[in-house]
Amino acid sequence: MARRARRILPGFGLSLGLSWLYLGLLVLLPLSGLFLKTFTLTWEHFWETVASPRALAAYQLTFGASVVAALANAVFGLLVAWVLVRYRFPGKSLVDALVDLPFALPTAVAGLTLTSLYASTGWYGRYLEAAGIKVAYSSIGIVVALTFIGLPFVVRTVQPVLEEIDADVEEAAATLGATPWQTFTRIIFPSILPALLSGFTLALARAIGEYGSVVFISGNMPMRTEIVPLLIITKLEQYDYAGATALAVVMLTVSFGLLLAINLLQRWAQRRFEVRPG
């Protein structure tokens, strides 16, 4: 039954063309518009906008909180995925469905809800403040909001990979005398690392651009809890379109650099751990 491999989609040329058009119209064109708008600024004005002390404080907070939140999701998302794949327990499908909820919820609603929980009068907040931990209206609150909205990414990228690992690999490791810890660190972790990294990347990217939930919980104090997206809105409120896009361009460039670096890391991990002949 030797048949020539047939393509499912009608023609490579046409599909590639459509893909380019689609991405071009939806991604490339709006983004180049963004860059073009910033070119209306003089270099001095651009620099003054993007390197002001307030902008620097905001970058630090936005990227810092995003990294912390994505790391938290990497650790606990992996745990959730593990539990969902490896155990059977009552209410499992409920837990599975809960994971996706942050995807569906409008982020402003999430922000309002989280704020009411963590404010000094809220269910969690009253105990945390009594213990001297201020969550709402502080940078911790921003991390909480960003962790919430990034939660599904790690779970949903790691889950299918965990499912695919054959039990006999672990059994083989066990018969060869490996401890459970060795089995995890030498067999399981390396094979899920690329997926974990891509989940981390997605959660990070999602967090960097987040606005709706953070403005409610952060308190928006300049130099302390002000995120870059809020600064961008601030520029727009004074009709400084070019200034707003200048900040957006910086955000995009840094994000792109971060994502690229993690992608390279992910490919390295894939080569290092997965391709092992015989």
Partner 1 sequence: MLSSAAVLLLPGLLASLSACTKPGPAGAEPVTLLNVSYDPTRELYEDFNTTFAKHYEATHDGAKISVKQSHGGSGKQARAVIDGLDADIVTLALAYDVDMLHDKGNLIPKDWQARLPNNSSPYTSTIVFVVRKGNPKNIRDWEDLVQPGVAVITPNPKTSGGARWNYLAAWGHALRKAGNDEAKAQEFVAALFKNVPVLDSGARGSTTTFAERGLGDVLIAWENEALLLTDEVGKDKFEIIVPSDSILAEPPVTIVDKNVDRKGTRAAAEAYLQYLYSDEGQELAAKHHYRPRSEKVAAKYASHFPSVRLFTIDEVFGGWRKAQQTHFDDRGVFDTIYTPKAQ
Given the complex with partner 1, which of 178 and 230 has the nearer CB atom?
A: 230
Task: With contacts defined by CB under 8 A, name the span among 6-14, 64-72, 115-123, 168-176 that binds partner 1.
Answer: 115-123
137 binds partner 1 (CB under 8 A): yes
> Tokens 């999430």 sit at which residue?
110
Assess contact for 262 and 197: CB atoms under 8 A.
yes
Buried-exposed string 221-234: b where 16+ CB fall within 10 A, e elsewhere: eeeebbbbbbbbeb
List the one residue from 38, 66, 157, 234 that touches partner 1 (CB under 8 A).
234
129 binds partner 1 (CB under 8 A): no
Q: How far is the CB of 57 from partner 1 (least distance, A)?
A: 9
List the one residue from 80, 243, 245, 247 that touches partner 1 (CB under 8 A).
243
Pick from 34, 15, 91, 28: which is nearest to 243 by CA?
34
Size of the chain, expressed as the number of residues it contains: 278
Q: How far is the CB of 28 from partner 1 (least distance, A)?
A: 21
> And the tokens for 26?
């939806």
Given the complex with partner 1, which of 68 and 112 has the nearer CB atom?
A: 112
DSSP output for 8-45: SSS-HHHHHHHHHHHHIIIIIHHHHHHHHHHTTS-HHH
* Burial of 134: CB neighbours in 10 Å, binned 0-12, 13-18, 19+: middle
- Would you give the binding string for partner 1 spanning residues 208-227, x where CB under 8 A is met? -------xx--xxxxx----
44 binds partner 1 (CB under 8 A): no
Assess contact for 202 and 96: CB atoms under 8 A.
no
> Tokens 């650790």 sit at which residue?
75
Given the complex with partner 1, which of 145 and 161 has the nearer CB atom?
A: 145
Q: How far is the CB of 188 from partner 1 (least distance, A)?
A: 44
Instruction: Please report, as residue ranges, which positions from 143 to 202 form the binding site for partner 1 (by CB under 8 A).
Output: none
List the one residue from 38, 62, 115, 157 that touches partner 1 (CB under 8 A).
115
53 binds partner 1 (CB under 8 A): yes
Assess contact for 110 and 118: CB atoms under 8 A.
no
Given the complex with partner 1, which of 122 and 194 has the nearer CB atom?
A: 122
Instruction: Please report, as residue ranges, which positions from 6 to 35 form the binding site for partner 1 (by CB under 8 A).
Output: none
List the one residue from 40, 52, 185, 253 that touches partner 1 (CB under 8 A).
52
Q: How far is the CB of 168 from partner 1 (least distance, A)?
A: 50
For residue 239, give every residue at least 6 positions away whose Cβ sits within 8 Å of its Cβ, in sequence order, or none: none
Determine how many CB atoms are found less than 10 A away from the CB of residue 194. Answer: 22
Q: What single DSSP character describes residue 188?
A: I
106 binds partner 1 (CB under 8 A): no
> Contact positions toward partner 1, by CB under 8 A?
49, 52-54, 112, 115-116, 119-122, 136-137, 215-216, 219-223, 230, 233-240, 243
